[in-house]
A and B are shown apart, each in its own frame.
Chain A
């Protein structure tokens, strides 16, 4: 049938385009998921769920926009709505002693690939873990806003659109998130805030 052939070709094309996007952005997506969820198992689930949802609603993807803008929106909404509803978010109190990362977690946090960004080598492993832990102490909304702004490099306007809030809310979430993270890090690693050339 002409119709069947055309439909199959159309499906194939969409499939190929989607596969290409997954391959290209998978690493970045996983990184975002890992920083949001805080551990490898949840990050894997979140990435998979987000890509599934992206695939299902692929016709809504505006090709004139960067894929990661659209995809980050799907992922952060999925993370905030669904993972919180399911009670999968670990909320750790600030007074609780720090959990040292075990071997399984350690394998997920590899040393940075020097080909990607030479700047990333600068931070000690100890500090990387501390910042990551500190991010996990924040409320999900604060963490999401901070991660989207500082790791993904989105503007406040883009974050507001992704999180479905006003720019004022984004501003206050980022500000409060950074202040809480600073207090957390100041308590544990005050040397990070000594004058230095860390830029």
Chain B
């Protein structure tokens, strides 16, 4: 009862967590990705790009590049527009303008496994092999499986001018060039110098240091196992060393058409490396 009352008061004051029940404006831009696909890194990149005079860190990232789910409706309604918001949601028709960040699911699997251990979402003795089946079935995340997530966004929106598809791997290979593309999509004027500064300020090394400093001040790292870092390797292709061959095959068998489309080379030779989802062949967005 006390809990309900507390919630009622918070709700009346607009101080309850917005969750999924916040107002989306037509001029909002969403930075969307499946979890563990580089979303936090891009939030840092954009925050550093947009607010060069702020010292961007884990303590203020929720304010600078807000995650609506964990913020209050009052805070969200007071943000200057147009807003840039972070999201892990699968397709949401209200999101008109979307930067969709995608990452090789073989690396996502490893990253999510470590993150779920850190968050105590899974048992401490669960092996990566055991994690894989529920991961592929979409049972390890409330946002669905990697396929469901990517297909729900890329399917209806690919080719739409208000949809920018960014690969985490491209961002790693050429952070300045890819950040420039995102800046252009957002209509942010940024010269090479400003882009470079933003990239340097968001480097994995720097983010690791900031994480140590502020781990207790951010929703992503508060009350988690601190021996397991949030900013881990920040690399691509880690699956080649740390994902068992059998696990690689399971992921590829499940999702190869979309992986082909996204340019993630298959290790399993018996799968058709030319097959892509037919809805991506048919051209126009729905």
- A and B pair up: no
Residues of chain A at the chain B interface (Cβ within 8 Å) = none
